[in-house]
Amino acid sequence: MRARTTIALALAMALTGCNGTVDGARPAPSGGAIDEPSVVEPTTDLLDWQDAGAPSGTQVRGPDWQGS
């Protein structure tokens, strides 16, 4: 019985990634009512920015190309 419980717990941990949510599932929003929206405080999580030179006109870039 103990072995079966251990396996079940390990499976549950693997599925939830140890954070209580099933892998791939989106956390439920903690929003409010339409006339009383919840205030969301930002956290800092900067993207991995790369230098594209001096600004000049409109630039668009993709993985394999760029437009300018």
Partner 1 sequence: MSEDRSTADVAGIRNQLTIAAGPGRRISELLMSEGWAVVVRQDTAETDPSDVDVVDLATGERSELVGPEPASGGSWALTGGDLYYPTYGDDRAYCLATSALADSNGEDGWCAPARTGFSNLTASEHGIGMMTFDDSRPACRTVNLLEAGLPQPIDGPTECVAWDVAATADGAVWSEVPKPRRQEEAVFRASADGTFLDLGPGTTGTALPCGDSVFFVRDPQGPGDPARLMRWTPDHTLEVAYESASTGNAFLGEPTCGGGVLTLSSYGEEGDESVWAAVD
Where do contacts with partner 1 occur on this chain (CB under 8 A)? 26-34, 36-68
* Nearest to partner 1 of 20, 27 (CB atom): 27
* Nearest to partner 1 of 5, 30 (CB atom): 30
Minimal distance, residue 10 CB to partner 1, in Å: 25
Half-sphere exposure of 25 (CA within 13 A, CB side): 11
* Nearest to partner 1 of 5, 58 (CB atom): 58
Q: Which helix (H) or strand (E) holds 67?
A: strand 66-67
Going from the C-alpha of 13 to that of each of 7, 10, 16, 20, 21, the distances in angstroms are 10, 5, 5, 8, 10
Minimal distance, residue 16 CB to partner 1, in Å: 15
